């Protein structure tokens, strides 16, 4: 088996965040088709589709794909901006990390399964679509977009990302509402689960 620590040139075990970032890069490729690796490479359409199909069929193939291409996941480009945990009342709980990467140009295409549509537009445009109910944003997505809407350029975004973690909380467990960046408060519905 190919070990990520070896591919990354690291001695010893990976940290939790390094492992989470590798998973994020893999899922980005699997679900959105974006291959965030270094060095950056240009793949032909046929090879890109073939490699992506391998990873979609078996997530462990991502390490082999990276080894074959002689690239590594560009985890240094991912900046942790949020950490959210599913409410305690939920039957399944998730600890979800949100990352932001600033890239100039990258190929994307929805996988049709977990990602059904992809779009590139300003954060304000996504928030407006949420307000007019043409799309639904969950609190973590809304919070991140509200935060990004206040950033005016990629230069400013890089500065913000290099200086701080934008938000981390077990917000789902706090009282009965989530404050979304001072824009509005979403009241959480109390859901009772029957065994």
Residue-wise pLDDT for 62-112, tens only, equals: 999 999 999 999 999 999 888 888 888 888 888 888 899 988 888 888 888
What average pLDDT does range 33-37 have in this prediction?
95
Q: Regarding predicted confidence, which is higher, 25 or 139?
A: 25
Residue range 169-175: average pLDDT? 45
Burial class of residue 186 in the structure, from the number of CB atoms within 10 Å of its CB (0-12 exposed, 13-18 middle, 19+ buried): middle
Where does the pLDDT of residue 2 fall: very low under 50, low under 70, confident under 90, or very high at 90 and above? low
pLDDT confidence of residue 135: 92
pLDDT at 167: 52
User: What's the pLDDT band for 166 if we cut at 50, 70, 90?
Assistant: low
Which stretch of 13-22, 153-162, 175-184 has the lowest confidence by average pLDDT? Answer: 175-184
What is the per-residue pLDDT for 115?
82
Q: Is there a cis peptide before residue 16, judged by omega within 30 degrees of 0?
A: no
- The tokens of 145 are what? 């977009």
pLDDT of residue 3: 81
pLDDT at position 76 is 92
Q: What are phi and psi of 40, to 5 degrees?
A: -65, 140
Average per-residue pLDDT in the chain? 81
pTM metric for this prediction: 0.78
Q: Above pLDDT 70, what percent of the chain?
A: 82
Q: Distances in Å between the alpha carbon of 8 and those of 26, 63, 76, 129, 159?
A: 15, 11, 11, 40, 26
């Amino acid at each position: 088996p190919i070990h990520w620590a070896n591919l990354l040139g690291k001695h010893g075990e990976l940290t939790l965040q390094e492992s989470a970032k590798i998973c994020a890069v893999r899922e980005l490729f699997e679900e959105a088709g974006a291959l965030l690796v270094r060095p950056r490479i240009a793949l032909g359409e046929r090879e890109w589709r073939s490699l992506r199909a391998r990873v979609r069929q078996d997530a462990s193939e991502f390490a082999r794909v990276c080894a074959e291409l002689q690239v590594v996941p560009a985890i240094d480009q991912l900046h942790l901006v949020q950490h959210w945990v599913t409410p305690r009342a939920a039957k399944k709980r998730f600890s979800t990390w949100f990352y932001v990467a600033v890239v100039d140009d990258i190929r994307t295409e929805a996988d049709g399964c977990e990602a059904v549509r992809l779009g590139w537009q300003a954060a304000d445009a996504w928030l407006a679509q949420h307000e007019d109910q043409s799309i639904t944003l969950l609190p973590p997505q809304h919070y991140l977009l509200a935060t990004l809407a206040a950033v005016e350029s990629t230069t400013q975004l890089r500065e913000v990302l290099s200086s701080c973690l934008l938000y981390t909380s077990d917000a789902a467990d706090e009282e009965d509402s989530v404050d979304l960046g001072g824009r509005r408060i979403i009241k959480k519905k109390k859901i009772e689960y029957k065994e």
